[in-house]
Amino acid sequence: MRTAAAPVRTLDAHSVAELRQAAQELLAEFGTSAASATLLERVAQTADAFSDTLRHHCRPVDTADGLYVLAGLDVDGHNLGPTPTSWADAGDRGALHDITLLLLATVMGNPIAWEGQQDGRYVHNIVPSPGHEDEQTGASSTVLLSPHTEDAFHPGRAHLLMLSCMRNRDNIATTAASIRQVRLDEADIALLTRPLLPILPDDAYTEAQGFDGGSPPLVPTLFHAQDGLTLRFDPAYTPLADASPAHRAAYRRLEDELARVSRAVSLNPGEVLVVDNDMVVHGRVPFRARYDGTDRWLKRASVGVPGRRSRPLAEADEHGYGQAAVEAYDRSRAGSGAYGQSRAATEASGAPDAPDAHAS
Ligand SMILES: O=C(O)CCC(=O)C(=O)O
Ligand SMILES: [Fe+2]
């Protein structure tokens, strides 16, 4: 694991104040961060009016790291209350920070919710939960959360993953590894760009795991996008035993390379890690939870970037195991008045990457 620091973008005082005021006003108006069509509409209006300086802080990743840390937000640990022991108990705890994250996500693109996860909320709570210690999900603790693409099983998965830190007293690190920093030979890349294995729904999607509406689509692990390689990777949910020995060996070499270039990012309260989910796989080091209200607490948002062409067009044909990605805004956003659109999995994936979808 490398120790090289992640690129940090420190928000200026004016941008911090802009965000704080906007989030406070929205929370006062709605009293909750649970998304309704009217809240989403007001979030979009507010985000559209943000200063160019704030928007510039939120520009796309611009280095091969495939990530950055936005620093400088206010998180007052005293007023926040105790860390919940489950997302289901979190409710509106830290709602001001949910709204802040939703605003930032809306500047960066189109926030995504999942009907089958955390009550369909756009901002998830990532906290260790009793009984889930050994899982490969955000609720685990004692196991290494192995490097993965977020929601890798689904064609409507995020382009950007945002992790906003509320509390991290023990400096527990998120891990991140960029495909743009690995070294692989051409033969391995050629093998791993072939659609040979499925990626099955992870344990956060129990309903999708019971899906019987079609066989699991075979997907490539690597993809040659216009600006370089992208990846779709989740070894814990990939049936590698079904692969040929040569394929398995290539996959292992990719895993080893990702481990070699992996870096640890330990977030402080008020920092938001922004990860490009096409370039970077993320995970987390193991830790011991206390369940006494002082545990690590992150807020998470997933974001689609309209017009991005970082994925194979064939993803448009995937069933997504019956899970619908719910995008906060109609693609064009302007004037449609359509907020919180639940769309079919195939639609969710196809249009953003289609050559004629957007001028980009
Ligand atoms: O806890 C972390 O640092 C990352 C957890 C994770 O994989 C996620 O929230 O998607
Ligand atoms: Fe994750």
CATH label of the domain that carries residue 293: 3.60.130.10
Mean pLDDT score across all residues of the chain: 91
**pLDDT at site 346:** 36
Ligand 1 atom, smallest distance to 282 CA? 7
Q: Domain for residue 181, yes or no?
A: no
Nearest CA to ligand 1 atom 6: 138
Sign of the CA dihedral running 239, 220, 178, 244: positive
Which of 114, 126, 140, 149 maximizes ligand 1 atoms within 8 Å of its Cβ, making it the mutation to test the pocket? 126
Which residue range(s) make up the domain with 72? 8-176+264-353
Q: Domain for residue 44, yes or no?
A: yes
Whether the per-residue pLDDT at 165 is higher than 70: the answer is yes
- The size of the chain, in residues, is 360
* Average pLDDT of the segment spanning 150-162: 97
Whether the per-residue pLDDT at 349 is higher than 90: the answer is no
Residue 263 Cα to ligand 1 midpoint, Å, equals 14
Percent above pLDDT 70 for the chain: 91
Residue 96 Cα to ligand 1 midpoint, Å, equals 21
Residue 162 Cα to ligand 2 midpoint, Å, equals 10
**pLDDT at site 4:** 66
Q: Are 73 and 19 in contact (CB under 8 A)?
A: yes
**pLDDT at site 117:** 86
Residue 20 Cα to ligand 2 midpoint, Å, equals 27
**pLDDT at site 342:** 54
Intra-chain end-to-end CA distance of the chain, in Å: 36
* Average pLDDT of the segment spanning 277-297: 98
* Of 57-66, 153-162, 298-307, 342-351, minimum mean pLDDT range: 342-351
CA distances from 253 to 155, 188, 259, 308, 333 (A): 25, 8, 10, 28, 42
The residue among 35, 303, 39, 345 whose CA lies nearest residue 205 is 345
Whether the per-residue pLDDT at 262 is higher than 70: the answer is yes
pTM over 0.90, yes/no: yes
Q: List, as ranges, residues with CB under 5 A of the ion ligand 2.
A: 150
What residues flank ligand 1, with Cβ below 6 Å?
Answer: 126, 138, 145, 150, 163, 174, 282, 284, 298, 300
Ligand 1 atom, smallest distance to 148 CA? 7
Count of structural domains within the chain? 1
Which of 145, 275, 277 maximizes ligand 1 atoms within 8 Å of its Cβ, making it the mutation to test the pocket? 145
**pLDDT at site 3:** 52
C-alpha 220/C-alpha 243 separation (Å) is 13
* Average pLDDT of the segment spanning 120-141: 95
Which of 129, 163, 203, 287 maximizes ligand 1 atoms within 8 Å of its Cβ, making it the mutation to test the pocket? 163
Q: Domain for residue 232, yes or no?
A: no
pLDDT digits (tens, 9 = 90+) for 312-336: 999 999 999 999 999 999 866 654 4
DSSP string, 39-86: HHHHHHHHHHTS-HHHHHHTPPP-STT-EEEEE-----HHHH-PPPSS
* Average pLDDT of the segment spanning 186-213: 94
Q: Domain for residue 58, yes or no?
A: yes
CA atoms within 13 A on the CB side of 200: 15
Residue 292 Cα to ligand 1 midpoint, Å, equals 20
**pLDDT at site 206:** 85
Residue 115: pLDDT band with limits 50, 70, 90: confident
C-alpha 148/C-alpha 232 separation (Å) is 8
Which of 277, 298, 302, 303 maximizes ligand 1 atoms within 8 Å of its Cβ, making it the mutation to test the pocket? 298
Q: Domain for residue 188, yes or no?
A: no
Q: Domain for residue 234, yes or no?
A: no
The DSSP code for 107 is: H
* Average pLDDT of the segment spanning 117-133: 95
Q: Domain for residue 155, yes or no?
A: yes
**pLDDT at site 235:** 96
Higher pLDDT, 200 or 136: 200
Higher pLDDT, 176 or 207: 176
* Average pLDDT of the segment spanning 53-58: 98
Residue 1: pLDDT band with limits 50, 70, 90: low
Q: Domain for residue 85, yes or no?
A: yes
The residue among 138, 130, 19, 140 whose CA lies nearest residue 72 is 19
